[in-house]
Amino acid sequence: MLTDTRVALPSQRRLSALADHRVFAALLLLAAVLRVVTILGYRPVTLYWYDSFTYLDTAVHPAPSATFHPIGYPLLLRALLPFHSVELVAAVQHVIGLSTGMLLYAVLRRRSAPGWAAASATVPLLFDASFLRLEHAVLSDAQFIFLVVAGLAVLMWSPRLSVRAAAGAGLLFAAAALTRTIALPLLLLVVLVLAGRRVGWRPLAALVLAGALPLTGYAAWYAQHHGRFAISGADGVALWARTMTFADCARIQPPPDLARLCPNGTKVDAASEYVWAPGASINRLPGDRFTHNDLARSFALDAILAQPLDYLGDVVRDTAIAFSWTPIPHPARTTPAFGFRSGHWELPDQPLIDKVKREYDPDIRGLSSVSPYADLLIAYQHAAYLRGPVLGLILLLGVVAAVRRPRVALLPWAVAMGLLIGPVAVLDFDHRYVLPVIPVACLAAALAFQTAPKRRGYMSDGVIYR
C-alpha cells in the first residue's frame, strides 16, 4: 500500500490539478485569441491627442510632468524604446491584461474560491471589448490595473500578512500611484483597512515605508524640476474643475485672489471639460492653467467646505452614471462603449507628433481598421460589454462577501469602491476610469463563494494521498 501511494501520488495529483484549471485555461486561450484579433484588426494602435503623445515624449525625455501624468507609464514605454514600435507597446499591454487575469484567478484559488467562481471573476477583464480597446491604446490604464491587482494579490496571498509581503505590496501601490495619482488615496485606504484587521504594526510599518520611499523620491525629483515637493502639478486644477458644477461665490465669499476663479458663465457638459474650456475662468488668467494649481486648490477646498452637500450631490450623481444600462457619454465627446468601428482616422492635430515620430517610432500613423478582423470585433463588442446594472450586482455581491468574510473580502471591495468614487470626487466621471473597478470588484465578489480549504490528505481507491 505504501508503494502504491508513493507511485500514484505525483502523477494523479498533477492530473487532478490540471483538470481543476481546465476551464480557466480555455478562457485564457480564447482571451489571447481575441487580443491577437485586435492587433490584426486595428493598425497600428490608438493614439490620443493629449495623453498618448505626452507619454511618448516623456519616455524619450524622462522628467516629472507638471500636469496630470507622473513617470510610471513613461518608464514602461522607455523600456520598450529600443524597439521603436508602438505596436509592440500594444502587444505588451495585451500580455499585461492576460497576466492580470491570471493573477486574479491565482489569488482566488489560493483563497479557496471554487474554480468556477475564480474563472468567472476573470471573464469581464479578459473578454469585455472595452478592455481590448484600452490595452490597444498608448494609455497607462493596463499597467495601472495590473499594479493594483498585483498589490492586492500580494496582500491576500496568505491568511497571515508577513513583513515581506506588506513591503512588496507597498512598492506595488507606490508604482500604481506613480502610474496614476488616484492610487495615492488608495494606499491610505489599504493601510486603514489593514489596521482595522489588526495585522500588526510591523507589516503596517513595512507597507507604509515601502510605499512612501518611492513616492518621496519622486516628489524630491519633482521639486528639483518644478520648485515644489509634490507628485502632481494638476491636483488643484482638477479639484477646481470638480467644483465648477456647483460653486456659488455668493456663498463661498472667496478673497480677491481666489475670486478670479469663480464661475464666469461658461457652460460645458462635464466638470472635467472646465480644465480645457477656453472661456473658463482659470484659462483667462495669465500664463498656463497649471501655474495656478495652488490657487485652484485653495478655491476648491473653500467651495467644498462652504457647499459640502452640493459637492456630495454632484459626486453621487456622476458616480451613478456607471450603473446605467445604456452607456451615457460623459463628457459628450467621448465614446463610452462600442468603439470598434470601420474606417481610417488621421492623427490628431498635436504639436508633439513630428517629435515623437522622429524619436520614438517613425511608423506612427493614423489608425486603420483591417477586415475581416475588425468586422469580427465590431460585431463582438455589442455582446461583450459589462452593463452598468451588472457592475452594481457585482459590487453588491462584494458587500455580501465583505460582511461574511471581512478579513479577506473587505480589502478588495474597499479598493473597488475607492477606484469608483475617487476619480469622480477629485475630477469627474469617465467610463475609462470605471474599468479598473471591474476586476477588483470581481475579486471581492468571487470571495462570497469561498469554501473551506481542502485537507492535504485524501483517500481514493484505497490509497491515501498526502
User: What does the pLDDT look like over 388-446, one tens digit per residue?
Assistant: 999 999 999 999 999 999 999 999 999 999 999 999 999 999 999 999 999 999 999 99
Give pLDDT, residue 381. 95
Find the mean pLDDT for residues 98-123. 96
Is residue 368 pLDDT above 80, yes or no? yes
Residue where the block lists cell 475630477: 427
Give pLDDT, residue 457. 44
Find the mean pLDDT for residues 24-44. 97
Please calculate the CA angle 281-251-424 and round it to the nearest 5 degrees: 60
Give pLDDT, residue 65. 85
Task: Give me 456's grid cell.
Answer: 492535504
Is residue 7 pLDDT above 50, yes or no? no
What gap in Å lies between CA 413 and CA 102, rounded to an integer? 19
Is residue 12 pLDDT above 50, yes or no? yes
Residue 456: band (very low, low, confident or very high) from pLDDT cuts 50, 70, 90: very low
Find the mean pLDDT for residues 347-355. 88
DSSP per residue, 237-282: HHHHHHHTTT--HHHH---HHHHTTS--S---SSGGGGGT-TTSGG
Is residue 94 pLDDT above 50, yes or no? yes
In this structure, of 1-5, 37-41, 322-326, the range with the lowest mean pLDDT score is 1-5
Secondary structure class of 43 (helix, strand, coil): strand
Give pLDDT, residue 335. 83
Give pLDDT, residue 462. 38
Is residue 294 pLDDT above 70, yes or no? yes
Is residue 178 pLDDT above 70, yes or no? yes
Find the mean pLDDT for residues 246-255. 96
Give pLDDT, residue 464. 39
Report the mean per-residue pLDDT for the chain: 91
What gap in Å lies between CA 226 and CA 65, rounded to an integer? 9
Is residue 8 pLDDT above 60, yes or no? no
264 vs 458, higher pLDDT: 264
What gap in Å lies between CA 188 and CA 200, rounded to an integer? 16
What does residue 328 show for φ and ψ, rounded to 5 degrees? -100, 120
9 vs 108, higher pLDDT: 108
- Looking at the chain, the whole-number percentage of residues with pLDDT higher than 90 is 82
Is residue 180 pLDDT above 80, yes or no? yes
Give pLDDT, residue 303. 97
What gap in Å lies between CA 448 and CA 451, rounded to an integer? 9
Per residue in 122-170, pLDDT (tens digit) is 999 999 999 999 999 999 999 999 999 999 999 999 999 999 999 999 9
Per residue in 274-291, pLDDT (tens digit) is 999 999 999 999 988 899
Find the mean pLDDT for residues 448-463. 56
Is residue 465 pLDDT above 80, yes or no? no
